[in-house]
Structure 1
């Protein structure tokens, strides 16, 4: 039960879906989500009429005929719609104007045949008429923007269902009506769904109560600012009712979605609530009816791994990554290519339940009703698994580059997943275009991760190459602050500029509205990127005495956010920034900053942060000090720098070790470490080399 996602559709003037030879030509580059618009008026007699029209005019009373045209028209409608949907996947990838116009014509012809049957024939069975109205309504919703005509059709259909007590068909039409209303008036759709929830509870139609509450949750997720509290409230009401009826698959689904809500909420108690929801879902998985739903198991494993990634808990990352990969591989055969799956209830279902519900419900092999959900397509799910695996492996990427390999494989999967045999037999161009948009989103996420991994191992040229591909069509003045990929690309561009010595250009990126923190600002979009950008700005501006007040203001803004951040790596970062202050900090305070940052970084298995903390200790406490402790500190800094394989830190650590040996009279060891420092410094960008003085 997952309605087609509302797409952002450009306002188009209503025009005949019949393509005329003199109609306005549209460039294929401008075609984003082609729509069929069916006009309610008859074509003018002055216009040239083609053999297939989008509307069949009401004709005069027909002469008796030996041929019943009703099944003929319905058969033609099936053929037209099937032929059009067979083209949809190809058109979404290669929208040639002639092919798109053909798609329009086929859809228009199919809709015209259905409309002619509904207007010109009387049905002996009201259920057959209601089913055709429901199918026609679903096509209008997916293929057109004729919301007014759709609402009129549904009003007539719902009245027909009420007169003949066709409960499933009535609720199905209400379901379509709510989805149609949501794309233009979301608040009205919420109100309507709430009314249907109340009605289904009153008449104890619990499967439909679950459907409408899940629809309400889906709407809450799709809002520009997701209504997470409202979604959580409805999920809890579903859980309460499902527990009374022992609907364990429904309970497991609710618990998994509750865990997802808590993971996104960012509240103070969200981590504890997430673990409780996850534990509840795991418990329900032991039930026989739940064990066969592989998508729920995969979702829980993905959420479990994602929680540790967000909160910076590295201890079990590899173990949970392996569990997730096994779940994905084990459920591969059970996962539909289009991402749909069924959650059964305990209520019995007629054999034709799918026709009466427009695919919202199905009948299981045991004869029970099952609510149809739609998650990620098979290829998208495995691409997500590759992305999570790359994030879990990032701590070892410097050594084995496995994180980059995972990202590259995930990107290949999203770009090469097209196989006509695996496509849905019935799929609108709207759905295919939405799938194409998701594939493009996955591709951009993979590029963003690949750029960040290369930045981490100081491959600045490689990172810039990937960022050039990622930002090819992106302009700094049109950055969407809600778009994580765009904002992170902007941040990474600043990182590359800073790392290669172009500090003024880096500041320009960091000062972008999408990357700045404001006084009194609540948690903004991409808050973590804003925090990192602010810390980098402080490091750049601190040596410039004219910006002292700005530096202090930025530090006051960012420090509480880092200290209270659920991911301990942010605490390490702010402590290191504090310890590297150009002001004369008291020795005890500096020692506290560095020891705390080193301790947390070691616990987080963050080698690069630990390297920075130890080398700062050497720089602040053991310069021009002779003795074993000084050599141990400098030696530890060198070993950590070698583990990071970052030329800049390797050069700095080796030079400090050389200075320590030289001060202690160990000339041979000092010369060896100094030569090593010179070798690594040659691999540092030239502008950065100019800012360092290496003692010879």
Structure 2
């Protein structure tokens, strides 16, 4: 979520929310090798010299209008340019250079202080957004700041200070933060609440974004200072915004951060229950974050009612009446002095298509564990999300090249995550052919993102590759991929723990000592873990180790309870199969028959061919031992289909047999 400059000049602030990067100055690119625009002076005058010929008193106004025309024309082709050729980039930057030349020419005239300040701010904004000429942008701002200070143009002065911090942060993080602290003190002393909020949100953004200054705790403290101020001033919408930002920062910590996130969300719910209005964008963000909290704890029963509430909310036509295409909205702030008109903190978040895309993605998550039970509902949600994400380009109508690239990267990231979880769904129901196909599509989509090996998406893609290798019996490659994930993640991260659990299952038969060492390395993190699914998986792996019968039975019962609490059908039928094998192998009894039948039926319901075959085979053996030969034969026939699929899958990575002639020659 981007905070825009309240003064209207100087572009936006930071990227605060879960959504596409803001459509405002962020990075700067050129089509020339030096990435510096050489401004074309179409009016034939040098820098700083007034025109020799009088061109009319309204020429500066005309030049400002021309600037807007050229920049608007450039931004209309911003998305096309971000995907296009060098000639497209050349045409784009010629328009930008011409717009800058118009501003330079306007500055050669004697302008009113306010107009000159606006021109300098606009000039620096374009340089910041479209070029790497940061020194020239800083020089223009410093001149503008002197002018605005002499003439008491406080709004423009703050706008220029806001942009100056962002420019300085590009090259000197520490200096930018010190400068920002000084500006915050100034506006606090002058009692300008709108700019106090704006500067403090900018400080939060600079501390929260990835980089040398990244510090989640300091970012959270910045938000709490905003919350404290807004609470004292009864700026209820700012209270909600700060609380939501704190919830998002907390969720970065995974399941351990959910409790803090829920406390922050509780403040927003209290406001809503008290009848206080917040912008619809913040309402939707509240619902999305609330669902994320339940998902991160694997509390399936909590998710469904929250998802229904979200769907009802998004289906209300009135919600979208004032929702702008560029995602901009305003958060109300009480004026600094009584009698003044109300003020608003401008922000930019998701547009309608973006919101629906994220909604489909989260819906697929919520229905993940019930995908088979609900006839592929999770897959249908993700399929709709993939269709919607391809429509996002329609919102790129007015955007700079760099902003277009940022939003395109966000779109590709979201699309990659959709393919990722779609492939996981296919793996759960052992449709390995389709999973491999989706995995290839995922790799193609992710290539332009140039992911670092330790980035979250890259690690999840590696983990998916490990799962597919594991499920298709390429165990050596699976162990290598799991090891790669573990080596690039913290030892207590969920991805590291689940990768080790999978490695243990592979290593146990042939290298039990290494498997035991891996299990020991995660035992301090798993028993009290807040993620029910992870805890259930750990207990199941521990239960399947050879040990005392009573302990095994207790572990398996505990694993079943956690799996049921998390709604994990797959883990349930795996545990049921192991229980039948462990306790009833070779036993002739009614309980043994019921156990085998339950294992087979649950696996079949989960559409898992491997465990369906295992359960079906145990059930057929049990029937044969009881003398029910006819039923045993019928069950064996039912097992044949699953057997063919399992054999085909487990032998797909084996080398092909030698030709018949070659075998005969060897003999």
Query: Where on the TM-score scale, by shorter chain, does this alignment land: which range?
Result: 0.7 to 0.9
Structure 1 position 665 matched with structure 2 position 627: yes
> Residue 121 of structure 2: which of 113, 134, 141 is its match?
134
What are the residue-to-residue correspondences of 1:93-132 with 2, within 5 Å? 94-118=83-107, 120-123=108-111, 125-132=112-119
Matched residues in 2 for 1:548 and 1:638: separation? 29
Q: Deviations over 1:330-369 (max 9, x none)?
A: 323332211111001111799xxxxxxxxxxxxxxx9411
Q: Which of the residues 259, 264, 270 maps onto 1:272?
A: 259
Matched, 1:237 2:225: yes
SS at match of 2:335: strand
- In structure 2, what is the Cα distance between the partners aligned to 1:322 and 1:54? 64
Unaligned ranges ≥5, structure 2: 5-12, 14-21, 654-667
Q: Does 1:406 align with 2:381?
A: yes
Q: Deviations over 1:433-466 (max 9, x none)?
A: 2122211112211111111111111110000001
Q: Is 1:574 equivalent to 2:538 in the alignment?
A: yes
2 CA distance for matches of 1:577 and 1:53?
77
Once the two structures are superposed, what CA deviation does each residue of 1:93-123 show, in whole Å capped at 9, x if it has no partner?
Answer: x4132222111111101101101211x2111
Aligned-partner SS, 1:344: strand
Q: RCO (CA 8 Å, sep 6+): is it higher in 1 or 2?
A: 2
User: Shift in Å at residue 312 of structure 1?
Assistant: 0.6
- Which residue does the alignment assign to 1:356? none
* CA distance in structure 2 between the aligned counterparts of 1:458 and 1:109, rounded to whole angstroms: 59
> TM-score scaled to structure 1, two decimals?
0.84
Q: Matches of residues 15-94 of structure 1 in structure 2 within 5 Å?
A: 15=34, 37-39=36-38, 52=42, 56-59=46-49, 62-64=52-54, 69-92=59-82, 94=83
Using a 3 Å threshold, how does the CA distance of structure 1 residues 501 and 341 change in structure 2: closer, same or farther? same
Find 2:235's aligned residue among 247, 259, 263.
247
Q: Distance in 2 between matches of 1:288 and 1:158?
A: 43
The match for 1:607 is 569
Matches within 5 A, 1:417-432: 417-419=392-394, 423=396, 425=398, 427-432=399-404
Conserved? CA contact 1:501–1:685, under 8 Å: no
Do 2:371 and 2:378's aligned partners in 1 also have CA atoms closer than 8 Å? yes
Contact 1:252 1:290 in 2 (8 A): no
| Structure 2 match to 1:43 | none
**Partner residue in 2 for 1:596:** 558
Q: Which residue of 1 aligns with 2:283?
A: 297
Gaps of 5+ in 1: 16-35, 41-49, 351-365, 692-696
Q: Within 2, Cα distance between the matches of 1:298 and 1:259?
A: 14
Measure the CA separation in 1 of the matches of 2:568 and 2:387. 29
**Residues 454 and 167 (structure 1), Cα distance of their counterparts in 2 relative to 1, 3 Å cut:** same
The two structures have a TM-score, normalised by structure 2, of: 0.88
Shift of 1:14: 7.5
Match status 1:394 vs 2:368? yes
Measured in 2, the distance between the counterparts of 1:150 and 1:341 equals 28
User: Are the aligned partners of 2:294 and 2:300 in contact in 1 as well (CA < 8 Å)?
Assistant: yes
Deviations 1:110-164 (A, max 9, x none): 101101211x2111x2111111111112111111111111111111111111111
Tell me the secondary structure at the aligned position of residue 397 of structure 1. coil
- The equivalent position to 1:332 in structure 2, one of 305, 317, 320, is 320
Distance in 2 between the 1:644 and 1:299 partners? 33
Distance in 2 of aligned mates of 1:142 and 1:562? 47
**Which of these residues, 225, 246, 254, is aligned with residue 258 of structure 1?**
246
Secondary structure, aligned partner of 2:77: helix
1:21 maps to none
User: Cα deviation per residue 1:622-644 (whole Å; 9 max; x = unaligned)?
Assistant: 11112121112112112211211
1:121 alignment partner, SS class: coil
**Cα deviation, residue 6, structure 1:** 7.5
2:370–2:567 contact (8 Å) kept in structure 1: no
User: Partner residue of 2:271?
Assistant: 284
Q: Aligned pair in 2 of structure 1 residues 474, 61: CA closer, same or farther (>3 Å)?
A: closer
Distance 1:387 1:666, change over 3 A: same
CA distance in 1, matches of 2:337, 2:389: 37
For 1:643, the equivalent position in structure 2 comes to 605
**Is residue 455 of structure 1 aligned with residue 427 of structure 2?**
yes
- 2:365 touches 2:378 (CA, 8 Å); kept in 1? yes
CA displacement at 1:70 relative to structure 2: 2.5
Per-residue CA distance 1:74-107 (angstroms, 9 max, x = gap): 3322222222122213323x41322221111111
Question: In structure 2, what is the Cα distance between the partners aligned to 1:500 and 1:54?
Answer: 71
Is 1:534 the counterpart of 2:500 in the alignment? yes
| Cα-to-partner distance string for 1:535-583 (whole Å, 9 max, x where unaligned) | 1111111111xx33322221112233332321111121122212222xx
Q: Which residue of 1 aligns with 2:137?
A: 150
Could you tell me whether the CA contact under 8 Å between 2:28 and 2:402 is conserved in 1?
no
Cα distance change on mapping 1:263 and 1:66 into 2, 3 Å: closer
* Distance change >3 Å, CA 415–CA 288, structure 1 → 2: same
The answer to whether the 8 A contact 2:504-2:515 is kept is yes
Deviation at 1:410, TM superposition (A): 0.9
Q: How does 1:310-459 map to 2 (within 5 A)?
A: 310-330=296-316, 331-347=319-335, 367-399=341-373, 400-419=375-394, 423=396, 425=398, 427-459=399-431
> 1:60 offset after TM fit, Å?
6.6
Shift, 1:56, TM fit = 4.6
Secondary structure of residue in 2 paired with 1:165: coil
Residue 51 of structure 1 and its aligned partner are, at CA, apart by 7.6
Query: What are the superposed Cα offsets for residues 566-611 of structure 1, whole Å, 9 maximum, x if unpaired?
Result: 1111121122212222xx4111121121111112112222111111
Is contact 1:494–1:509 with CA below 8 Å preserved after alignment?
Answer: yes
Judged with a 3 Å threshold, the aligned counterparts in structure 2 of structure 1 residues 431 and 622 are, in CA distance, closer, same or farther, namely same
CA distance in 2, matches of 1:598, 1:65: 84
**Cα distance in structure 2, aligned partners of 1:522 and 1:532:** 11
In the TM superposition, 1:554-569 aligns within 5 A as 554-569=518-533
**Displacement of 1:183 after TM fit?**
2.5
User: Would the alpha carbon gap of residues 685 and 150 (structure 1) be closer, same or farther in structure 2, given more than 3 Å must change?
Assistant: farther
Q: Is the 8 A contact 2:78 2:404 kept in 1?
A: yes
Q: Which among 440, 457, 463 is matched to residue 491 of structure 1?
A: 463
8 Å contact from structure 2 (residues 70, 98) kept in 1: yes
443, 465, 482: which is aligned to 2:437?
A: 465
Task: Give distance in 1, aligned partners of 2:57 and 2:351.
Answer: 44
What secondary structure, in the 3-state scheme, does the structure 1 residue paired with 2:343 have? strand
Q: 1:398–1:645: 8 Å Cα contact kept in structure 2?
A: yes
- Aligned-partner Cα distance in 1 for 2:298–2:255: 16
RMSD: 2.8
